[in-house]
């Protein structure tokens, strides 16, 4: 059975994701679609709108066959580490190919760009350092460095967010000499950072989330932009747990963590560097909500996304000593959901898998999964009782199975 892998967040699953899913399956000529999906905290440092279990159900109802959780040690990370964990997981799952959405839409420029970067890696890194010394954030410094390096070459526009992620996916596969083959399809209509719903049925997840919260956590305003299954799953989630998740739910917990810790304690947290712990503590004591706090701490050097990831690590209490050793490669594969076809695929490849499949958390014991459990516990704490206990109970149950 030929399998194509997707790296996803589905926060929530929308029509653009459906387009990507269908086109990926065609491009790869695949029978099985395998998704590696971020858990409670996402790549940009945000808590997911609804739980990973609800998002896994969205994926299965849209046509994905297997959904696996990207470990927290790779999920709430910069593009390089995020991509490495995801592609290593898809390679371990015996996927023939992976397919990502990009602004470019053609794989050849990604391959040329990868070769150019490999040939001039040391010079590229030096250029990044020079730009960062001028106060630029890492993404901006990398974009400027690449512009200088690629002048006159037919390569990518690495100022575009999906192209940036895409080159990291390609690099993770090619630099490790993996068998998995990279593919890409072009994103259509909505831009990744668009904040407004469009006149077409394709809108960005950012715009969809904004509309949801502006309409009082109702999914009614996003009809036409998401499948009906997404709307019904979200409505059921609000019925079960009374809230959709965003950073404001966690602000009291985050504020307590920041102001009750000493500066040396905060310095031990992953991604806390260059004395920013003092800026965080000063702003936390004076801010009434998360948005006000973020506005106070943002600088030219620290992007909103990087600061959100810092906040997630403070909240989950992940230290440098704990996180860095876990980032070389995944040591397990956590199953969240499967279709009947997905179960058959797993049955055929199970003996070839280099990593253990975790289907019941209570039956798996490894220090590598502890940050995932902690992240899930913290995510549940955003809800009042008895809903947080209900959500944590789900963490230890069997994966979701969609019989089709």
The strand pair at 400-402 and 333-339 is best described as parallel
Q: Identify any residues that bridge with 100 across adjacent strands, giving them in sequence order.
A: 184
DSSP secondary structure of 45-109 = SPBPSS-HHHHHHHHHHHT-SEEEEEPHHHHSS-HHHHHHHHHHHHHHTT-SEEEEEESS--HHH
291 annotated to a ligand binding site? no
Alpha helices in 300-386 (DSSP H): 304-316, 320-323, 340-349, 370-381
Q: Is 337 annotated as a binding residue?
A: no
**358 labeled part of a ligand binding site:** no
Question: 8 among the known binding-site residues?
Answer: yes
135 is in an annotated binding site: no
DSSP-based three-state secondary structure for 335: strand
**Is 243 marked within a binding site?**
no
DSSP 327: G
162 assigned ligand-binding residue: yes
Question: Which residue, among 169, 175, 117, has the nearest Cα to 145 in the 3D structure?
Answer: 117
* 191-196 contact pairs (CB < 8 A, 24+): 192/160, 192/161, 192/162, 193/161
In the numeric block, the tokens 């526009």 are attached to 157
Distance CA 50, CA 382 (A): 11
The answer to whether the annotation marks 71 as part of a ligand binding site is: no
193 is in an annotated binding site: no
Neighbours of 111 (CB within 10 A): 14
41 appears as a binding residue in the annotation: no
Q: Which helix (H) or strand (E) covers residue 366, if one does?
A: none
**396 assigned to a ligand binding site:** no
> What secondary structure does DSSP assign to 167-194, as a single string?
HHHHHHHHHTT-SPEEEEEE--SS-TT-
Instruction: Show the tokens assigned to 27.
Output: 């491009």
Residue 13, marked binder: yes
SS3 214: helix
187 annotated as belonging to a binding site for a ligand: yes
Residue 215 is assigned to a ligand binding site: no
Q: Is 12 annotated as a binding residue?
A: yes
Task: In whole angstroms, give the CA distance from residue 375 to residue 359.
Answer: 18
Separation CA 64–CA 324 (nearest Å)? 31
On whether 68 is known to bind a ligand per the annotation, the reply is no
* Binding positions for ATP: 7-20, 101, 162, 187-188
* Binding positions: 7-20, 101, 162, 187-188
């Amino acid at each position: 059975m030929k399998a194509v892998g997707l790296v996803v967040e589905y926060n929530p699953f929308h029509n653009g994701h459906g387009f990507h899913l269908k086109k990926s399956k065609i491009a790869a000529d695949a029978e099985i679609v395998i998704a590696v999906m971020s858990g409670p905290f996402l790549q940009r440092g945000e808590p997911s709108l609804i739980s990973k279990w609800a998002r896994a159900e969205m994926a299965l109802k849209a046509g994905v066959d297997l959904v696996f959780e990207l470990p927290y040690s790779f999920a709430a990370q910069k593009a390089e580490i995020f991509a490495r964990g995801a592609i290593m997981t898809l390679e371990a799952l015996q996927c023939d190919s992976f397919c990502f959405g990009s602004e470019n839409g053609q794989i050849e420029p990604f391959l040329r760009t990868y070769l150019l970067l490999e040939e001039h890696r040391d010079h590229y890194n030096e250029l990044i350092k020079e730009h960062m010394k001028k106060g630029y954030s890492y993404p901006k410094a990398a974009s400027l460095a690449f512009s200088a390096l690629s002048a006159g070459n037919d390569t990518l526009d690495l100022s575009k967010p999906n192209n940036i992620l895409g080159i990291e996916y390609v690099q993770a596969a090619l630099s490790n000499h993996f068998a998995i083959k990279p593919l890409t399809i072009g994103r259509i209509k909505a831009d990744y950072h668009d904040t407004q719903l469009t006149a077409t049925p394709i809108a960005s997840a950012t715009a969809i989330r904004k509309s949801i919260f502006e309409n009082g956590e109702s999914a009614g305003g996003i009809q036409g932009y998401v499948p009906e299954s997404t709307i019904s799953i979200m409505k059921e989630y609000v019925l079960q747990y009374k809230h959709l998740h965003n950073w404001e739910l966690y602000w009291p917990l985050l504020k307590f963590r920041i102001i009750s810790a000493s500066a040396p304690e905060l310095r031990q947290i992953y991604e806390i560097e260059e004395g920013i712990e003092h800026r965080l503590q000063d702003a936390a004591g004076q801010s009434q909500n998360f948005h006000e706090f973020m506005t106070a701490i943002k600088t030219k050097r620290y992007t909103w996304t990087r600061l959100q990831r810092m906040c997630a690590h403070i909240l989950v209490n992940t230290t440098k000593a704990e996180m860095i050793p876990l980032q070389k490669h995944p040591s397990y594969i956590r199953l969240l959901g499967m279709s009947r076809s997905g179960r058959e695929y797993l049955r055929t490849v199970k003996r070839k898998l280099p990593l253990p499949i975790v289907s019941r958390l209570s039956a798996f014991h490894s220090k590598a999964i502890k940050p995932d459990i902690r992240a899930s516990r913290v995510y549940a704490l955003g809800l009042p009782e008895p809903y947080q206990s209900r959500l944590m109970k789900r963490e230890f149950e069997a994966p979701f199975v969609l019989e089709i």
